[in-house]
Amino acid sequence: QKEVEQNSGPLSVPEGAIASLNCTYSDRGSQSFFWYRQYSGKSPELIMFIYSNGDKEDGRFTAQLNKASQYVSLLIRDSQPSDSATYLCDVPGSGNTGKLIFGQGTTLQVKP
Amino acid sequence: DAGITQSPRHKVTETGTPVTLRCHQTENHRYMYWYRQDPGHGLRLIHYSYGVKDTDKGEVSDGYSVSRSKTEDFLLTLESATSSQTSVYFCAISAGGSTDTQYFGPGTRLTVL
């Protein structure tokens, strides 16, 4: 089992819909969870991070964390064509070892 | 934007030649990272540094070496480039390490013929 897994997609949603991106992880000791967005040909940029169980909202984005089930999700409400990108989940292992562990990314396509 | 630059931005080289990629930061962050990104594999960590002269291996370190003689510079060297090292290389920096936000450089596209 990979340490961090994402469905590579593409995930296609119509404009205005909710896009749901999921990420599962294997290290039960992980304490912090990050979502990065990467547009084609560009570098990744942070959009959300979450440390506690439950939901964290920032504008149209909501991160959901369930440590018991070892998954973290990103919901994008009112999806826009400008949200079309690859979304990378980063789940560092337990302890600050310095090493970063990314999933392979989910490509989201928002169709007008 | 975090002050991170990578050089060169594009490079084409031949198999067997040495290649050095440079990452330069102006943020004085302690941690620096080198990744490669390939279709179907996402971002894979090559090496990282947690201070001047302090480095460690990532998951795909074979064929790569790194050096960090100053806080602001982190060099990635391919001693003898192979076609399998054709990729996009990203540098990233972080103040607090793996449990902190990573800021990525613009990337270097390397082609090994």
pLDDT digits (tens, 9 = 90+) for A34-66: 999 999 999 999 999 998 888 999 999 999 999
B105 interaction partners in chain A (CB closer than 8 Å):
43
Please, which residues have CB within 8 angstroms of residue B98's CB and are 6 or more apart in sequence? A92, A93, A96, A97, A98, A99, A100, B31
Q: What is the mean pLDDT of residues B65-74?
A: 97
Cα gap A58→A66, rounded to integer Å: 18
Per the DSSP assignment, residues forming a β-bridge with B47 are B34, B57
Give A103→chain B minimum CA distance, Å. 7
A101 interaction partners in chain B (CB closer than 8 Å):
45
Residues of A engaging B, defined by a Cβ cutoff of 8 Å: 6, 8, 31-32, 34, 36, 42-46, 49, 88, 90, 92-93, 96-105
The chain-wide mean pLDDT, for chain A, equals 90
User: Mutation test of the interface with chain A: which of B43, B47, B89, choosing the one with the most A Cβ atoms within 10 A?
Assistant: B43
Give B82→chain A minimum CA distance, Å. 23
Q: What is the mean pLDDT of residues B27-44?
A: 91
Under an 8 A CB cutoff, do A103 and B40 touch? no
Please tell me the predicted confidence (pLDDT) of residue A11: 95
Lowest mean per-residue pLDDT among A94-108, B47-61, B62-76, B80-94:
A94-108
Q: Residue A14 pLDDT > 90, yes or no?
A: yes
A93 interaction partners in chain B (CB closer than 8 Å):
98
Please, which residues have CB within 8 angstroms of residue B26's CB and are 6 or more apart in sequence? B3, B4, B72
Cis peptide bond upstream of A112, omega within 30: no
Under an 8 A CB cutoff, do A34 and B102 touch? yes
Q: What is the mean pLDDT of residues A101-106?
A: 90
Q: Which member of B41, B92, B107 has the closest CB to residue A104?
A: B41
DSSP labels for A32-99? -EEEEEE-TTS--EEEEEE-SSEEEEETTEEEEEETTTTEEEEEESS--GGG-EEEEEE-PPSS--S-
For residue A53, CA distances in Å to A30, A68, B48, B84 come to 12, 9, 29, 40
